[in-house]
Structure 1
Amino acid sequence: MCTSGAKKRDDSEGDVGCTSCSSTCCENCVCRVQCISCSRACRCPETCTNRPFRKEKKIKIVKTEFCGWGVEAAEPLNKGDFIIEYIGEVIDDKLCEQRLWDMKYKGVQNFYMCEIRKDFTIDATFKGNSSRFLNHSCKPNCILEKWDVEGETRVGVFAAGSIRVGEPLTYDYRFVRFGPEVKCYCGAPNCQGYLGAKRKIDKLNIGWGAKRKRTSTACVAIMTL
């Protein structure tokens, strides 16, 4: 277990990631399309924009009226901007299930787990950063992306469009229910009313290790008992 949002690939060795660029990467760069960051071995300059996770944007933690703590943009953001890395403890499926049941018995109401693949879940319940305070929206202005950075899998929050200063930062939790219904207060025109309304489960059967495209939003399971 490690206190981070990164996990080294078992088959990684030597120089990994994008190593073939000779100039600044463009939007159609093969590495960028596959969410592979330029590596230290890449010949592109340090100003290359295909190197997220180096500098986070300014954000502000605020108290919301209905959703507890939340996060607002503290500077203007453009579509595609890297905002912050989703960080927590990296745990396997067995420990994840154990923690879920332990927290249920203790009456813990809020906890946050991001399933990346089989035996790789980022748990920001006890250890994490400001990314854990981003709230859900049925019409979010941010997305989560899974990137390969120097052979490590890392998850980042990126702007889905232009965001003004003071605007709440939200993403789709892709909520998996484990207990009573949880009302959604996002206020979006397309709000479903309840989190996980279309993904209700009665038992802890989340389908660990389901295959997902590298470029898709990382599957986030926010469990509320």
Structure 2
Amino acid sequence: MWGRTSGRCVSPRCPLSVTQCPLSPTASPNETLVIEYVGQNIRQVVADMREKCYAQEGIGSSYLFRVGHDTIIDATKCGNLARFIKHCCTPNCYAKVITIEAQKKIVIYSKQPISVNEEIIQDYKFPIEDTKISCLCRTESCRCTLN
């Protein structure tokens, strides 16, 4: 059962001193469902308004994940541990959009075998933009930006 995070980042290459890092509660073989990304399903117009509100409230990070042309899952204030999965240029998981009973959901699958208490990481695959977001994964194949 999911419910564990480290109080500190367990990855030796991570420059962050304190963070929430979802850890695998059990060993997961390759191509196994790890966790669902849970939040509120909202439309693009609502997501745009919320982003502005979050900035005004001083919320530094929002957890908006697009699942369709006009559908976004917002886990910023209402979500589970999946929202704390960090980016890495060499991830052990990937996100996949699936449809269950006409509702789109995001599920995180293992990309390789994952050990118990190993940090769950994925490639965010942000779209390319002029303003770059620095990557902090520090792996050998780091792209240096998230976008």
- d(CA) in 1 for partners of 2:41, 2:87: 22
Alignment of 1:82-93 (within 5 A): 82-93=33-44
- d(CA) in 2 for partners of 1:59, 1:75: 12
Q: Which structure 2 residue ranges, 5 or more long, are not aligned?
A: none
Deviation at 1:69, TM superposition (A): 1.4
**Which digits, 9 at most, give the CA deviation of each residue in 1:153-189, with x for residues without a partner?**
2211110111112221111112358897543221221
State which of 165, 172, 186 in structure 1 corresponds to 2:123: 172
Distance 1:107 1:130, change over 3 A: same
Partner of 1:116: 67
- The amino acid of 2:106's aligned partner reads V
Q: RCO higher in 1 or 2 (8 Å CA, sep ≥ 6)?
A: 2
- The amino acid of 1:100's aligned partner reads E
Aligned residues between the structures: 140
- The amino acid of 1:145's aligned partner reads K
Structure with higher Rg: it is 1
Deviation at 1:93, TM superposition (A): 0.9
Task: Please identify runs of 4+ aligned residues in structure 1 that moved more than 4 A.
Answer: 176-181
State which of 76, 79, 104 in structure 1 corresponds to 2:30: 79
**Which digits, 9 at most, give the CA deviation of each residue in 1:4-52, with x for residues without a partner?**
xxxxxxxxxxxxxxxxxxxxxxxxxxxxxxxxxxxxxxxxxxxxxxxxx
Partner of 2:98: 147
Structure 1 contact 86–131 (Cα < 8 Å) conserved: yes
Normalising by the residue count of structure 2, what TM-score does the alignment of the two structures yield? 0.83
Is 1:66 matched with 2:15? yes
What is the root-mean-square deviation in Å for CA atoms of aligned residues?
Answer: 2.2
Distance 1:58 1:129, change over 3 A: closer
* Identity level (%): 24
- d(CA) in 2 for partners of 1:90, 1:158: 21
Deviation at 1:190, TM superposition (A): 1.0
- d(CA) in 1 for partners of 2:106, 2:117: 24
